[in-house]
Amino acid sequence: MKRTSRRLADGREIIYFDGDAAPDRTAEDTRQLPPQAPASEMRRDPLTGEWVAIAAHRQTRTYKPPAGACPLCPSTPERPTEIPETDYEVAVFENQFPSFAQGIEGASGTVPGMPMVPSAPAAGRCEVVCFTSDHSSSFGALSRERVRTVVDAWADRTTELGQVPGVEQVFCFENRGEEIGVTLHHPHGQIYGYPFVTPRTEKTLAAAEAYLREHGRPLMGDVLAAERASGERVVVDSEHWTAFVPAAARWPVEVNLVPRRQVPDIAALTEAERDDFARVYLDVLRRLDGLHDRPLPYIAAWHQAPVSTGRDLSWLRLEVFSVLRSADKLKYLAGSESGMAVWINDVTPEQIAERLR
């Protein structure tokens, strides 16, 4: 794979990931952009201990532009975009409207008048990952070779962002479909470098630690073995990966893709595991789109180990879920889910797994 790092007009980094036969990436960003001045802040909720990012500058971010004004398409002489090249394979660049960023000024302290509410600059990094230059395509329409390039890009960014001072967790994800909240239709995902371990990961690590202490075995290893032995919720099983609907699925459509071997993050996957993932994931996405005979809106979220804690407890997995509960109905988060985080599913995991098979 060929990796090329360049700079956009406002100083943000853009990185191209290409096959060996791709041309050199030398195009310059011709736009007149002011230097980046991110001003995100984070405050910790004293009632839950969870950090909340305050990023008021994101109110002006790009919102549902027409295809002819897409900022993620390749540049043309008439219309320069976020990606200066006239074509590309996979491109990753720093988000112009980041929730977390480097170089934020300010000191840690507390919210004025609220000594129990710590505050700090939201230091970290947010990146955009463009999977293809084809605006009308999708991740599921990519070739295996292109998916493999994306996996290598995720691995590269996981390693690099993990070395950014202050970053404690790297989160790679894709949102697809307006029903999910997508405001740019070009096939893309994002990567967050958080300055803390996320609440979801903290709970996962606590459960894994308690199970290991009681049983002497990794929790996900036993879950995976039980799912494969039962087969009732398994959707795809391969040499290196198993895709299954979790037994306690929250969403009307939910699939976990889990490697057979315990690894902490994407960067730890072998060449064979990355190749096999490309095949299995494309298979799963094809099944998801066939579920209601329409492109399925979904979120694909990589659960990786934090940078400096819990790595021996973590087991990499990709969680794919959708809010679409039937061909023409959405699952809205109601009072129980939004207010108390107590989930109620309208379909059994076994039913959805059978339909996906």
Alpha-carbon span 263 to 267, nearest angstrom: 9
Residue from 188, 215, 240, 292 carrying the catalytic annotation: 188
Which pLDDT value is given to residue 196?
97
Number of H helices, E strands in the chain: 6, 17
Q: Would you give per-residue pLDDT tens digits along the chain (357 residues)?
A: 999 999 999 999 999 999 999 999 999 999 999 888 778 899 999 999 999 999 876 666 666 678 789 999 999 999 999 999 999 999 999 999 999 998 888 889 999 999 999 999 999 999 999 999 999 999 999 999 999 999 999 999 999 999 999 999 999 999 999 998 888 999 999 999 999 999 999 999 999 999 999 999 999 999 999 999 999 999 999 999 999 999 999 999 999 999 999 999 999 999 999 999 999 999 999 999 999 999 999 999 999 999 999 999 999 999 999 999 999 999 998 999 999 999 999 999 999 999 999
Q: Domains along the chain? A: 2-196 (3.30.428.10), 200-356 (3.30.428.10)
CB count in 10 Å sphere of residue 294: 12
List of E strands, 158-214: 169-176, 188-194
Specify the residue for token string 């011709």: 30
CA distances 35 to 8, 9, 38, 73, 203, Å, are 10, 8, 10, 22, 39
List of E strands, 297-348: 298-303, 317-322, 324-326, 329-330
| 61's tokens | 């971010």
Alpha-carbon span 183 to 205, nearest angstrom: 32
Chain-centroid distance, C-alpha 1: 22
CB count in 10 Å sphere of residue 299: 19
Which pLDDT value is given to residue 59?
60
- Is 188 an active-site residue? yes
Per-residue model confidence as pLDDT tens digits over 251-308: 999 999 999 999 999 999 999 999 999 999 999 999 999 999 999 999 999 999 999 9
| 25's tokens | 């990436």
List of E strands, 114-217: 114-121, 125-130, 169-176, 188-194
CA 333, 339, 345, 346 torsion-angle sign:
negative
Alpha-carbon span 241 to 134, nearest angstrom: 29
Alpha helices, DSSP H, located in the chain:
144-161, 199-215, 219-230, 271-291, 335-340, 349-356
What are the beta bridge partners of residue 54? 41
The two beta strands, 41-44 and 125-130, are: unpaired
